[in-house]
Structure formats: C-alpha cells, structure tokens
Amino acid sequence: MYFELFSTFFRIGIFTLGGGYAMIPLIEAEVVEKRKWIDKQLFLDLIAVAQTCPGVFAINIATFIGYRLRGIRGALCTTLGTALPSLLIILAIAMFFQNFQHIPWVAAMFAGIRPAVVALMAVPTFNMARKAQIGWTNCWIPVATAILIWLCGVNPIYIILIAGVSGYIYHLLTKKKGKKI
C-alpha cells in the first residue's frame, strides 16, 4: 500500500502544471473516484483544511490523505511522491534553462503554457464552488473575499479567521433553531 500511495502521488506530481490547485482534479480522480480511498465530502473537507494550513497546498493535501489512509508512514509516502517530481523537474530546468531561454520556440512554448495553467486552476475552483454548494444566494462571499484580498490588500489570514468565526456562529444559530437560516 505504501508504494501504491507513493506511485499514485508521484504520477500526479509529474503530470501537473500550475501547482497544487491544478492537482485537485487529478487527486480527486485517483483518490476519490478510481481508488475510492476517501469519499467526496472528506476530500472537500481535506481541501479546506489544506488551504488554511501554512505551506504548499499540494503537499498539505497529499500529507493529509496519506495520514488518513496509513498514518505517518502513509503521509511520508504521499508527501514524497508529490514533492519529488517537482523537485526533479525544477532542478533539471534550473540546470539547463539558461542555455535555452533565448531560443524563440522555447520562449513561445512557455508563453503558451501560461494560459493553460490559468485554466487548470480555474476548473478546480468552479468544481469546489459547486461541491461547496455556492450558488446565487451565497456567491457574494467568495466574490467579496477575492475583492478584499486583491483590491483592498486585506491579509488572507484575517479572512480565514473571520470565515471560521462566522461559520461557527452560523452553526450555533442553526443548531438552536434546528434548521438552516
């Protein structure tokens, strides 16, 4: 099982451009849908926790999944499996990119990759919004959050703290009334 954890996350790490958010659909396809190691709701919860923890998102989610499945050794396998491809690729690029960056087709290739990476990050964002049941009545929350961070320069830590406290208060209010507000 440990080798399977390592190799699964190694393959995900190799074929992911654009960072941790671009990995979400690949991780979900492997871990939730194909292997059924965890269910969709737990996956969504682990994404939320991974986003609030310091560090690299992809490493966080891999670590949480590995720990959930096989404890510390599982977390080590998934973490190494996720990080090792990026480390090797970055090392190879750093060693050779200076020699090739002036070649027009290489520059054009990297210019073409950038928009694809944006799309790879947008798809999981919309999928997470759907799974988190963000609709027309509550879509103002992520929009307002993005505006506060992007345009107003509010520290994301404050947003996370306010969201956590608000969620807790909402839970207490709905628990007292026995229904959703």
pLDDT of res. 15: 77
Residue ranges of alpha helices (H) inside 15-56 are 20-27, 40-52
Q: What is the share, in percent, of the chain residues with pLDDT greater than 70? A: 96
pLDDT of 92 above 80:
yes
Residues 87 and 138 in one domain: no
Looking at the domain assignment, is residue 163 inside a domain? yes
Of residues 90, 113, 83, the one with CA closest to residue 13: 83
Structural domain count of the chain: 2
Going by C-alpha positions, the residue among 90, 81, 82, 39 that lies closest to residue 57 is 82
Q: What is the mean pLDDT of residues 109-117?
A: 84
**Looking at the domain assignment, is residue 49 inside a domain?**
yes
Q: Which of 3-7, 87-91, 162-166, 176-180 is predicted with the least confidence, judged by mean pLDDT?
A: 176-180
User: In terms of pLDDT, which residue wins out, 16 or 100?
Assistant: 100
pLDDT surpassing 80 at residue 51: yes
Q: How many residues does the structure list for the chain?
A: 181
Domain with 90 in it: 1-101
pLDDT above 90 covers what percent of the chain?
38
Residue 5: exposed, middle, or buried by beta-carbon count in 10 A (0-12, 13-18, 19+)?
Answer: buried
Residues 93 and 158 in one domain: no
What is the residue-averaged pLDDT of the chain?
86
Q: Is 2 exposed, middle or buried (0-12, 13-18, 19+ CB in 10 A)?
A: middle
Please check whether residues 30 and 87 belong to one and the same domain: yes
pLDDT given for residue 178 in this prediction = 60
